[in-house]
A and B are shown apart, each in its own frame.
Chain A
Amino acid sequence: MAEAQKMAVSDEVAIQITGMNKWYGQFHVLRDIDMTVNRGERIVICGPSGSGKSTLIRCINRLEEHQSGHIVVDGTELTSDLKNIDKVRSEVGMVFQHFNLFPHLTILENCTLAPIWVRKIPKKEAEETAMHFLRKVKIPEQANKYPGQLSGGQQQRVAIARSLCMRPRIMLFDEPTSALDPEMIKEVLDTMIELAQEGMTMLCVTHEMGFAQAVANRVIFMDKGQIVEQNEPKEFFSNPQSDRTKLFLSQILGH
């Protein structure tokens, strides 16, 4: 935990969300969200199922549209302007629960596709970058295989490498380990911890409380579409304030 505090957080704002609301039809899924994320912050978002965690981080790269309030990512406000959306998406990486690799492309092609077509980087250079990140997630030898030939943990590490190849300034993780067998969770978490130590701005929806304690500098607890409590991990776990948080923590840590 001491280590977590060491990692630098700057004053520069990376994500600013103010008064944001979202509805699915009549259902008010996100209510009055206010949140500021500084560059270099590692934020863990937790909360009961259906509390809107996924929806919140998916609003940050506009996979979901919000209906009121403002979301500003790296100085670009997310509106219906496609240029802004493309700009934000190319700067924000996202890792999904079910990896969502492209099964018809090799691992290397998965990693070079977006740099080549979105960033217009020459193929050769994109491949070098891809190999660099595949080495970093420790699976360079799988580069020419297809996703279907890899284990879940390996696929998730490829998904992380694929995002990193776009050189994002912010990374979003939506329950990256919850579809994995226990023995593979560690290899993915190790990769994420390494990323955190390099100063990546990260928002991570996860129930891995060990991870939260090791790298997060802030834990956000959500319930019923609202941010109920946020605090630094030590305080959050040892001294939760709201009853909902206490109940939630007792449920996930209790047994």
Chain B
Amino acid sequence: MAESFVRKEMLEAQAPPASQAGAIAWVRENLFSGPLNTILTLLGIVVIYWLISTSLPWWLNGVWNASSLSECRSIVAASAGEGATGACWAMLRERWHQFIFGFYPPESYWRPILAFVLLFVALAPVLFTSVPRKALWFTAIYPALCFWLLWGGPIWTPIVAMMGFVILGLAVVYLSSYLGAPGSAAAGVVAAVLWWLFLQGPVAGFLASNLPFGLASVNSDRFGGFLLAITIGVTAIGCSLPIGIILALGRQSNMVIVKALSVAFIEFIRGVPLITLLFTASLLLQYFLPPNTNFDIILRVIILVTFFAAAYLAEVIRGGLAALPRGQYEAADALGLDYWQAQRLIILPQALKISIPGIVSSFIGLFKDTTLVAFVGLMDPLKGVTQIVRADMNWKGIYWEPYIFVGAIFFIICFGMSRYSMYLERKLKTDHR
């Protein structure tokens, strides 16, 4: 028989013994829990110590004021003794603008800077839903504005080019009741292409000669550094997402031709190294284009980088589409939504949400891949600009500093994208699983 028991006094909570909590317990549990763990911890400490002890003087002895590498070295030797190493950041002081702008005319630096600032204004309504939707109008005109700011020339060129999209939009709005969504879109595309091919040049030329207003034009070969990387990266990111979505939908389509074309495109582009495509951009594309069109090299590179990214995105998005249960398609069908409504309102929002991590990795990869344009003679920040800097007698032999600088900027941008994707995932989390 059990003895009866009634508690009279409640026990106070006590601090756990030191071996269970606090720093000592944490260290014991996580770093020295067993022989293997202890060995690895000690090894790790040795490696970290070695890394720091060899590179720390280099960082600490960094020189910011000098006009050549040899001057840097003598300053380091004077202050830290003969044989000491030191970073020569003075090179950045003198050449930072080339890393950022390439050979863009210095008196026009305000143009890319303004374009860069406006980029955030244009992106804000896309990235953050709290920004008023009206701001999307600015986003819509931003591409033309940015083009004009960067390349200059008469203002009419981008305006007349944008008219092509207006024509496309009007066609979709006014013809969709006769031709349906795909039909009107096709008609709009045809009309816009006709506009660009035959009317754009004369109309823009006419306006420019009668109402001359514009910025000094800057040739593509002046572009370089991060200006080039960001121009290519942002444009390709912006264009590859819609193309990737269309390819992913095409690959799932029941229409044999559409499906075959999508699969062929995706598999071909994914199967070929980006550098091959870039060489194609620089050499081959000219043969396919009408003889007198002078297609800008940056534009050509952007197109192929976009295709490359789009093919990868299509596969990432296809993964998202495949992850959706059939029931979502069936519920949308049963409610009477047509194909495009179902895709836009039900399927894609969910599929894209699932694919966010993959999409953002593709974007990060794309942005870093922009350095490959060095292979077709463009001045990317990593190889192109660094080579030019090293060609200067004053900085001949400088090695780590430019790469560290360029790497740091790439890291900041890519890390920013990755953080944004995590923010977006958290914000869109509605499934409460």
Contact = CB atoms under 8 A, between A and B. Distances in A.
A94 to B, nearest CB: 4
B334 interface: yes
Contacts of B336: 86, 89-90, 114, 118, 166
Interface stretch (A16-24, A97-105, A186-194, A238-246): A97-105
B335 interface: yes
A93 B331 CA distance: 10
A117 interface: yes
B432 A104 contact: no
Given A96-B327, A100-B330, A162 B335 contact: yes
B296 interface: no
Contact of B333 (A89, A93, A117): A89
A89 B335 contact: yes
B341 interface: yes
B430 A96 contact: no
B126 interface: no
A166 B335 contact: yes
A162 B332 CA distance: 11
A224 to B, nearest CB: 25
Given A104-B349, A117-B341, A146 B333 contact: no
A61 interface: yes
Nearest to B338: A86
A117 B345 contact: yes
Contacts of A90: 335-336
Interface string B307-346: 0000000000000000001011011011111100100011
Nearest to A61: B334
A146 B330 contact: no
A63 B332 CA distance: 10
A105 to B, nearest CB: 8
B133 interface: no
Given A86-B336, A102-B346, A118-B335, A148 B432 contact: yes
Counting chain B CB atoms within 10 Å of each CB, which of A90, A101, A114 scores highest?
Answer: A114
A18 to B, nearest CB: 23
Residues of B in contact with A, size category = 20 to 34
B432 A96 contact: no
A56 interface: no
Contacts, number: 71
A165 to B, nearest CB: 9
B353 interface: yes
Contacts of A63: 330, 333-334
Contact of A146 (B327, B328, B331, B432): B432
Contacts of A108: none
B350 interface: yes
Contact of A98 (B327, B337, B433): B327
A82 B346 CA distance: 20
A113 interface: yes
Contact of B430 (A99, A104, A162): A104
A178 interface: no
Interface in B143-174: none
Given A96-B330, A104-B428, A148-B433, A113 B335 contact: yes
Contacts of B350: 102-104
Given A61-B334, A100-B325, 20 more contacts: A61-B333, A86-B336, A90-B335, A94-B331, A98-B325, A102-B328, A102-B346, A103-B430, A103-B431, A104-B349, A104-B428, A113-B335, A114-B335, A114-B337, A117-B345, A118-B337, A148-B431, A149-B432, A163-B334, A166-B336
User: What are the 5 closest A-B residue pairs judged by CB atoms, nearest first?
Assistant: A90-B336, A100-B327, A100-B331, A148-B432, A114-B335
6 contacts: A61-B333, A102-B346, A104-B431, A117-B345, A118-B337, A146-B431
Interface of B: 325, 327-328, 330-331, 333-338, 341, 345-346, 349-350, 353, 428, 430-433
